[in-house]
Structure 1
């Protein structure tokens, strides 16, 4: 899958995965992100979480598929990094709003 087949905000998210500042700009100011059982609300909280996760796990995500389900962009991606069970396929559920990510839920 190429980034050109992903909606622009989703492609920007994956392109910025190791740059927390750029990644945070992919989200609306009041966005919510749920990952690993934790909820992060707002750009600053998402940026802090992603900076910590990037430093700890060094994970790289490669999108495999992208489908639209009930107004949500669902991306399956292979994620590799410094964590038990690597690599793993994860599901990213993006709800977009005015060209930005309003919510993101990441699950196995």
Structure 2
């Protein structure tokens, strides 16, 4: 990946490109929060279920093209491609990191 992303974010995006659920989960803290267009998923089991039900079936792969620091969060933007209506859609991913891992991820279209 040519962008200079913090390691946990780069690992998440690389695993997403392979549609690897275990790899996508690995950079998250066990009690992390994932907010997907307003729906909140807390903890590893809930985030896994989100990936299993809403990411993998439609082969949603996020390809970032911009990154910036915003108030201590890392904001990454880019298109997501997959087998879903409107693909590709442009997403904003807001990552909050703690202890070398993803503490929170909020995605919006």
Deviation at 1:56, TM superposition (A): 2.1
TM-score by length of 1: 0.92
Count, aligned residues: 107
Q: In structure 1, what is the equivalent of residue 10 of structure 2? A: 11
Determine if the alignment matches structure 1 residue 95 to structure 2 residue 96. Answer: yes
Deviation at 1:27, TM superposition (A): 0.5
Q: In structure 1, what is the equivalent of residue 2 of structure 2? A: 2
Q: What are the superposed Cα offsets for residues 17-39 of structure 1, whole Å, 9 maximum, x if unpaired?
A: 11111211110111000003311
Deviation at 1:65, TM superposition (A): 0.6
Report the Cα distance in structure 2 between the residues aligned to 1:71 and 1:60, rounded to whole angstroms.
25
Q: In structure 1, what is the equivalent of residue 82 of structure 2? A: 81
CA contact 1:24–1:44 (8 Å) conserved in 2: no
Q: What are the superposed Cα offsets for residues 47-82 of structure 1, whole Å, 9 maximum, x if unpaired?
A: 121122233211111110110000000000211111
Most deviating of 93-102 and 48-57: 48-57
Deviation at 1:91, TM superposition (A): 0.1
Over aligned residue pairs, what C-alpha RMSD do you find? 1.3
Q: Which runs of 4+ in 1 moved over 3 A?
A: none
TM-score by length of 2: 0.91
Note the residue ranges of structure 1 that are not aligned, 5 or more in a row: none
Note the residue ranges of structure 2 that are not aligned, 5 or more in a row: none
Report the Cα distance in structure 2 between the residues aligned to 1:60 and 1:39, rounded to whole angstroms.
20
